[in-house]
């Protein structure tokens, strides 16, 4: 499984395919040209797969008598039931498609993940909806990293999503095998600084869970660990949390680095904290010392390289 391609579901229009209502597309350069080199896309256009064709009338979410309906406002046709049935069936298929993430098109009444416009009977919109397909997907695959392409233009959200994709893949690979508690401790330890950069509280909670593994039912444990692990990574890693993780690593060099090199590393971490250099700078220096000095514990920390460096996700200040 570790050798299989990383499969990511995606709203088809983001790949540049002309499937939108107007016959156009919404090609996303980062996804297609950069992230696309590392993953295998699994495209889904719910509206085309439902048989609505291209071009087609626009659709919108409308609140009618307390219910949210998916309708074509010009002809009045209501597609709510058909789309709900399709979405549940397709989400069940995707649950068997070995996905490690999903990128949805924002604002769409089918694909939008949040803040989709819901119109009232006067035609006034409120950004309070979720696309029908997106809702079925999230309900069927609650741990799957799901993000909208619009939010991925924010560097912190982009890194968070890509990091979750790779972590989710490792998590599923681990629990898909015949895991033993020793392997679990190794998995958990390798992710220590990565999880701590998101939430030290969650890391503590996961640690207590790992300590109780022999007292719990295996399936229940696996389910709970995976859920809490992915929930922890959803918390955005801030500069303060990254600084804590870096200082934690600095502590591991106490008796190994000469004073001048220690001071240089401490100063580099502080420059990152003050927003003068991107995260990649102290991380590169740490990796250099880890390699040169053979610091085994830190060498095993996935925090030092949670995703391919070619994606340059830690190069922003």
CB 309 within 8 A of CB 268: no
Residue 9 as a binder of ligand SF4 (CB under 6 A): the answer is no
Sheet with 116-119, strands from edge to edge, namely 67-71, 60-64, 116-119, 125-129
Residue 59 to residues 69, 78, 122, 132: CA-CA distances in angstroms? 10, 9, 16, 12
Residue 116 as a binder of ligand SF4 (CB under 6 A): the answer is no
CB 126 within 8 A of CB 81: no
In this chain, which of 8, 62, 87, 108 binds ligand SF4, going by CB under 6 A?
108
To ligand SF4, the closest distance from the beta carbon of 29 in angstroms equals 16
* Minimum CB distance to ligand SF4 smaller for 54 or for 284: 54
Residue 197 as a binder of ligand SF4 (CB under 6 A): the answer is no
Residue 28 as a binder of ligand SF4 (CB under 6 A): the answer is no
User: Cα separation of 78 and 282, whole Å?
Assistant: 55
Chain position carrying tokens 């070619």: 310
User: Cα separation of 59 and 180, whole Å?
Assistant: 50
39-44 and 6-11 beta bridge pairing: parallel
Stretch that binds ligand SF4, among 7-15, 95-103, 237-245, 289-297 (CB under 6 A): 7-15
Task: Write the binding mask 29 to 68 for ligand SF4: x where contact by CB under 6 A, - elsewhere.
Answer: ----------------xxxx--------------------
Residue 8 as a binder of ligand SF4 (CB under 6 A): the answer is no
Stretch that binds ligand SF4, among 6-14, 135-143, 297-305, 309-317 (CB under 6 A): 6-14
Count Cβ atoms within 10 A of the Cβ of residue 277 and give its class: 0-12 exposed, 13-18 middle, 19 or more buried. Answer: middle
Residue 144 as a binder of ligand SF4 (CB under 6 A): the answer is no
In this chain, which of 8, 9, 15, 19 binds ligand SF4, going by CB under 6 A?
19
* Minimum CB distance to ligand SF4 smaller for 111 or for 298: 111
Residues forming contacts to ligand SF4 in the complex (CB under 6 A) are 11-13, 19-20, 45-48, 105, 108, 110-111
């Amino acid at each position: 499984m570790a050798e299989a391609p990383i499969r990511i579901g995606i709203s088809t229009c983001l790949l540049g395919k002309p499937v939108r209502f107007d016959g156009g597309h919404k090609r996303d350069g980062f996804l297609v040209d950069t992230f696309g080199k590392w993953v295998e896309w699994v495209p889904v256009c719910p509206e085309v797969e439902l048989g609505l064709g291209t071009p087609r009338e626009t659709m919108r979410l409308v609140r009618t008598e307390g219910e949210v309906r998916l309708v074509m406002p010009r002809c009045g046709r209501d597609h709510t039931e058909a789309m709900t049935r399709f979405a549940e069936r397709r989400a069940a298929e995707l649950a068997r498609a070995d996905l490690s993430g999903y990128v949805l098109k924002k604002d769409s009444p089918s694909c939008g993940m949040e803040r989709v416009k819901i119109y009232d009977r006067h035609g006034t919109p409120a950004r309070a909806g979720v696309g029908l397909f997106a809702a079925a997907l999230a309900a069927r695959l609650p741990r799957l990293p799901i993000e909208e392409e619009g939010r991925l233009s924010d560097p912190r959200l982009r890194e968070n999503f890509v990091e979750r994709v790779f972590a989710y893949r490792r998590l599923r690979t681990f629990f898909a095998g015949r895991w033993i508690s020793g392997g679990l401790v190794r998995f958990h330890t390798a992710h220590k600084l990565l999880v701590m950069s998101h939430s030290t509280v969650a890391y503590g909670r996961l640690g207590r869970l790992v300590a109780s593994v022999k007292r719990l039912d295996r399936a229940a444990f696996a389910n709970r660990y995976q859920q809490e692990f992915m929930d922890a990574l959803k918390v955005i890693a801030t500069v303060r949390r990254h600084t804590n993780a870096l200082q934690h690593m600095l502590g591991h060099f106490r008796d190994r680095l000469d004073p001048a090199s220690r001071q240089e590393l401490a100063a580099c971490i502080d420059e990152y904290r003050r927003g003068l250099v991107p995260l990649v700078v102290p991380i590169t220096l740490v990796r250099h010392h880890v390699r040169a000095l053979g610091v085994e514990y830190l060498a095993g920390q996935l925090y030092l390289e949670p995703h391919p460096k070619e994606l340059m996700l830690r190069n922003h200040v």
